[in-house]
Every structure is written in structure tokens, then in C-alpha cells.
A and B are shown apart, each in its own frame.
Chain A
Amino acid sequence: MGKALGFLKRDFLIEVSYRFNFLLSLAGIFFSASIFYFLGKIVDPAVVQDTANDYFSFVLVGMAFAMFLRTGLGSFAESMREEQMMGTLEAMLATPTSLSLIILSSSLWRFLLTSISVVVYLLIGAAFGISFAGANIPVALLLLILTVLAYSALGIISASFIIIFKRGDPINWVVSTVSIFLGGVLYPISVLPGWLRFFSRILPITYSLEGIRGTLLKAQGISDVTTDLIALAVISVVLIPLSLALFSLAVNHARRTGTLVKY
């Protein structure tokens, strides 16, 4: 716990040393929400009626929670590579702290910033008239935790790739591109051809967004999102041990070849 707090404090201090960065991120969220607010005025609400009341609320929730997808997928590999390039990884590994704890803790700040950004997205949505009355927050949080676990497992596989090959990680690229394309972030998967919808059903983001939209925008309860919860849990149970095994193999390979701190 103390080590995780140490990482959070370090990253907070570095973040505040770049004062404009966070303000610009908030401004970016405001402008992208505004664009989708006006775009929503020309989209027929019937297109999204299964999971939302109108296109703006559909896309806002999709955009906001897809941020967790990007963070889960990318943060571990990015942290690893940043520490390698800054030259700090070796100094950290000289302490009684394991590489896995270093990578997980180095990602905490990114998850915290993502959470703040998502809350800002939802607040802007509320200011633009989206109603979250009746939102089932505990179930939405449960879905979110399972989503983060599933994408973090893919992120750990991605970090394993970076440990061995250093650059050009295909896992992050493929999974994030396919998830945004087929996962129902910007448009409902019902508009996709039938054969593409099959691929949507193997992506965690599809279940995550369906469930979160249902609980936040349609006041659905746990019984309405059971399929989504089970699908996310199964994906996490399969991917987490696989990702940890691959990570261990990658670290041992790097220790044998002397490339652990190289970039």
C-alpha cells in the first residue's frame, strides 16, 4: 500500500509540474462532448433506443468508458517503456519491489486520471441535459471493475510484448482499433452486418458498454445485465492467468538476454 502511494505521489508531483497538461485534457473533453451534443441533434434516437434515450447520451457514455479500455490496454506497456527510456527502471529494480508491482503501481495514476475524466464527461453530459436519474451506480461499478480487469489482462500481454520486442506492439493496436470499430462505442452494433456482429460478441467492450449504458441510462438492475456480467467475468478469468504467465515468461527471457532495462 505504501509503495502504491509512493507511485501516486510521484506521478502527482510530476503531473503538477506540467500545469497546462491537465487543463488541456479537460478542455478536450468539453469540446468533444459539445461536438457529439450537436451531432446528436441530427441522429434519429430510434437507432439507439435499445440501450439509450438518444444518440448524445449513447455516445457520451461510450466515449467516456472507452477511456478505461485505452488505459487498461496501454498503461502497463507505456509505464514499462517510459521507465526504461527514462533510465529509472533499473534503479527501481534495485529496491525490494517486484517488476509486476512496479508496472501495476506505475499505472495507478493513469487509472485515477481516467476516472476523473470519466466523471467530468458524465458531469458535462448532465449539464447538457442527460438524465442519470435512477442510475444503478453499484452495478455500473461492478461492470466497470470487470471491464478494467479484462482490458488490464490484455494490457499485461501488451507489456510482455514490449519487454521482449521493445516497440511496435500489435496487441494494443489490434485490440483497441477492433474494440472501437466493433464494440459499440460510437454506434450501436445493431447497425453492423450480421457476420461482423459475431466478432463484436467476443470483445469485452461490447458487454461492458451494453451493461453500463443500461444501468446508467435505463435504470437497469443486476438481473438485466447478468449476461454482460457473466461474459466479462469469463473473459477476465481466462485472460488474467494467461497474461500473468506470459508476463513471467517475458521477464525471464529478458533476464536471460540482459534486455530487461533496454529500450
Chain B
Amino acid sequence: MMNALLTLTGLMAVVGLALLWLGRRFHSNKDSLIEQINATLPQTQCAQCGYPGCRPYAEAIAGGEADINQCPPGGDAGVQALAQLLNVDPKPLDESHGEHKSPVIALIDEGRCIGCTLCIQACPVDAIFGAARQMHTVIEAECTGCELCLAPCPVDCIDLVDRPDPYRPPRPDYSGANVRTVIPLKVA
């Protein structure tokens, strides 16, 4: 009787300690979760989600405060990716935060720019170059198209233009014609 009791108690203690150790060892790291969510976000830093950047939004998602469908630049594909990462059901993009648009970049009309530096201060990725009372210009390769520079500009000299992307061969469309001319004599 005593032996059985001791054995069981000992066993439970050992298993308990092992589980405790395993739990600590494979502890789900909240920071790494935030990092993973952040890596899924498009890094536009546009704040349309209601948070001041992609990482704060990632923190909010990880903390359960924000939904996964608040990122317009990511679009439905971004929501899908987040749903897959977090193992939850995907949902349509919440359009109240903005529509998913084709990628754009900001372009400063350099003739109208008065050099007030307000856009430089607003740019979340330091993609605008210039100094006080000097002409400003957008570094094309670094602009994320977040639109945050539009509002502060007092002379409204910033336009959004389509981002110059390499040519995208379309998905083959079977309704059109196809070239099949040479007839092989035989397969080698």
C-alpha cells in the first residue's frame, strides 16, 4: 500500500517537473509572434489600420486588441497570410480602414514645392530628401506610398503616381490565339 503510494507520488513529481521544464523550454514567445506578424505586414507604415505603424499593429494583433483585416495595403492576400499564420478563419478586408489600391508612390511637383520640410517630418521611412527652403524630392525606391505626406503639404504639390513596376506577363488566357506552327517529325 505504502509502496504504491510512494511510487505514484514519485512518478507524478517527476512527470510534473518534466512538464514544467518543457513548458518553459518551448514557451510560446510573444515577441517572436509579433515579429512573425510584422513580417507578414507590407511595412507601408501608413497607419490606416489605426495604429502608428506596422509593428504597433502587429503588437495589437498579438495582444488580441486588433482584428487581422485592418490593413488595406496588404489587401485580401495579406489577410489570408495573417489568417494562415495565426490559424484563424480569414475574413474580408475591413473597408472602413481604406480600400486596397494598386501600389503608388509620391511624386513632388518640384516647381511648386516651397521647401517647408513638413512632408519630410511626416514620412515614416525617410524617403523624402530636402532641407528648409530647398526643393524636396521623393526617393522613388524607398517610398512606400503611405500617403502620409499629402496632408501636411501646405501647397498641395505632392501627387500619387503608379509605382513603376517591371512588366508582369499575364496569366495565360486560353480564349485567345496560340502559336503552334512547326510540326515535330518525331520526339528525340
Answer whether A and B are interacting partners. no
- B residues within 8 Å of A by Cβ? none
